[in-house]
Chains A and B, each alone.
Chain A
Amino acid sequence: MPDLGDLYQQLIIDHNRNPRNFRRLEDANRMASGDNPLCGDRIQLFLKVEGGTITDIGFQGSGCAISQASASLMTQAVLGKSTEEAEALFRAFHEMVTGPRDKAPDRQLLGKLAAFAGVRDFPARVKCANLPWHTLKAALQGAEEPVTTE
């Protein structure tokens, strides 16, 4: 039986209540939106990428605690990182929430993002945690269409 406390960690509850970088960037040069219409999770991501580095990031959106906290923590994690480093985080995050149970997350690399390790035990919620990350990837690749993880 998965433990609820593993999913709704204090850090996640806190970032849901007080999302960080929750703003629209007026001078963004990369943007993407993510939408899980079945859930009603929605995020819009704004990035400023200069010389291969994410120098500013903001998001807006609405949805469940998992999707909103994931977006908030993601913006903190990738700010100041190179786009390659951000993509490496994407892969590590993705692996953590969808990979096999016995594989421990790379806490060194993931830092606070490891709070989402418990999502793996709630298959219906994996798409909520992943949505901001897929949106980030779309923004970095300059995708035009909204992404979805449903």
Chain B
Amino acid sequence: MSTAQRAAAPASRPESVSAPLDVERIRADFPILERKIGGKPLVYLDNAATAQKPRAVIDAIQRYYREQNANIHRAVYRLSEEATREYESVRARVARFLNAAEAREIVFVRGTTEAINLVAHSFVRPRLGPGDEVLITAMEHHSNIVPWQIVCEERGARLRVAPMNRSGELLVEEFEKLLTERTKIVSLVHVSNSLGTVNPVKELVSLARARGIPVLVDGAQAAPHYRVDVRDLGCDFYALSGHKLFGPTGIGVLYGRAELLEEMPPYQGGGDMILSVSFERTTYAPIPAKFEAGTPHIAGVIGLGAAIDYLERLDRSQIAAHEADLLSYATERLSEVPGLRIIGTAAHKAAVISFVLEGIHAHDVGTIVDQEGVAIRTGHHCTQPVMEFFGVPATARASFALYNTRDEVDALVRALFKVREVFG
């Protein structure tokens, strides 16, 4: 195995591959999977956009609103104390989930997008001067491009982009060459949402950190599939979105090393992030409260906690094995569709398959397979530079989660034959 391959292994190694995942039991946990779309069973293959929610998450949110709703951190009455305890206990669970050293390294944000913006504005902006550089990769989501463009433009700094090859694999040597004394941060995606590529994050982080360059990892697509260990990865920041992790929308996590979070100025000002305020001077609260101005998305945090508990009760190595099976089965079956070309063929991939059908635009594909109850994403997947690189205006993308089955792959393939039929 080459270094690249070794380092590309998922954030955690499957412990030992035991019995297969009991998918039928898992499906029963997700009420929406019982839905019919136009009389046909829903085949939900747009998990990279957002994942479905297990009953445990839906119930936890309901329970919070029905039984525990109160603002947190503010009152002495028991209801508020209970809500505060719930909220803070999720922080501790998220810390464990990511193997962070301390709960105060977990900042609740709206999602990956806000996490990246927070780091761009509070951490990078103050240290960025004219001629400095921010390094990203060719396969970033727009949310890991635009915030950097904004701060670079403002500070006269330069955004550099590490290239990839035609399979959608990052060129590690090129990446390394772009690490210089001018590089003020590296921000890179763990798992690409449009190509499925799993980057060798641990190796990339160590290359940057060896030169004293801090690293942010966009983990939006990694956390739903693999166990993430931020200390093993060695990154300074890690961002994720609750809604892709079977939790609610509007909530996400920024992990940051305490030492860095402590020296960063606040991102937003307001209530809850202060120790004392007078018109002359405000003293900020310690981390993480310093970064959580205003009433947070309490129900979202509680729902996220339930999602993490749900995942923790499952065997993540079984999930990884199941998804790897879906990926290889789908890759094989899709090759039966005439004129179908897969975009993103990295050696190490998550269960995400982007493809184009010769002579048929992705949106026509999306509309026709929807008639068969199959939900896939079509478009540029917020990665326009990736589309440009592969010379396609858009792709269709099937992205899988733990509750998907081989039967659903078959339904997708049948629907694609239907597309061929319509277009004659």
Q: Is B368 an interface residue when CB atoms closer than 8 A count as contact?
A: yes
Q: Which of A37, A42, A62, A66 contacts B364 (CB 8 A)?
A: A66
Contact B393 A63 (CB under 8 A): yes
Q: What is the chain B residue whose CB lies nearest that of A39?
A: B363
Contact B379 A38 (CB under 8 A): yes
Q: Is B209 an interface residue when CB atoms closer than 8 A count as contact?
A: no
**9-residue interface stretch from A82-90, A122-130, A131-139:** A122-130
Contact B424 A13 (CB under 8 A): yes
Contact B379 A39 (CB under 8 A): yes
* Chain A residues, CB < 8 A from B363: 39-41, 64, 66, 124-125, 128
- Our count of residue pairs bridging A and B at CB distance below 8 angstroms stands at 50
Contact A125 B393 (CB under 8 A): no
Contact B393 A122 (CB under 8 A): no
Q: Is B422 an interface residue when CB atoms closer than 8 A count as contact?
A: yes
Q: Which of A1, A13, A62, A66 contacts B422 (CB 8 A)?
A: A13
> Which B39-74 residues sit within 8 Å CB-CB of chain A?
39
Q: Is A77 an interface residue when CB atoms closer than 8 A count as contact?
A: no
Q: What is the chain A residue whose CB lies nearest that of B424?
A: A13
Contact A65 B379 (CB under 8 A): no
* Chain B residues, CB < 8 A from A124: 363, 367
Contact B394 A65 (CB under 8 A): no
Most A C-beta atoms less than 10 A away, residue of B39, B367, B387 = B367
Size category of the A interface is 20 to 34
Query: If the complex has contacts A4-B368, A8-B368, A125-B367, are A40 and B39 also in contact, measured as CB distance less than 8 A?
Result: no
Contact A63 B368 (CB under 8 A): no
| Interface residue count on the B side (C-beta < 8 Å) | 19
Query: If the complex has contacts A8-B422, A63-B393, A64-B363, are A40 and B379 also in contact, measured as CB distance less than 8 A?
Result: yes
Q: Is B371 an interface residue when CB atoms closer than 8 A count as contact?
A: yes
Q: Is A7 an interface residue when CB atoms closer than 8 A count as contact?
A: yes
Give bound CA distance, A145 to B394, whole Å: 23
Query: If the complex has contacts A1-B38, A1-B39, A40-B394, are A64 and B422 also in contact, measured as CB distance less than 8 A?
Result: no
Contact B380 A38 (CB under 8 A): yes
* Chain B residues, CB < 8 A from A39: 363, 379, 394
Give bound CA distance, A4 to B422, whole Å: 9
Shortest beta-carbon distance from A91 to chain B in Å: 25
Q: Is B423 an interface residue when CB atoms closer than 8 A count as contact?
A: yes
Q: Is B121 an interface residue when CB atoms closer than 8 A count as contact?
A: no
Shortest beta-carbon distance from B371 to chain A in Å: 5
* Chain A residues, CB < 8 A from B393: 40, 42, 62-63
* Chain A residues, CB < 8 A from B384: 37
Interface flags, A1-40, vs B, CB<8A=1, else 0: 1001001100001000000000000000000000001111
Q: Is B26 an interface residue when CB atoms closer than 8 A count as contact?
A: no
Give bound CA distance, A122 to B379, whole Å: 17
Shortest beta-carbon distance from B107 to chain A in Å: 31
Q: Is B360 an interface residue when CB atoms closer than 8 A count as contact?
A: yes
Leading 4 A-B pairs by shortest Cβ distance? A40-B393, A64-B361, A1-B38, A64-B363
Give me 12 A-to-B residue pairs in the complex whose CB atoms sit less than 8 angstroms apart, sorted by A's number. A1-B39, A4-B371, A8-B368, A8-B423, A38-B379, A38-B380, A40-B380, A40-B393, A64-B362, A64-B364, A66-B363, A124-B367
Chain A interface (Cβ < 8 Å from any Cβ of B): 1, 4, 7-8, 13, 37-42, 62-66, 122, 124-125, 128
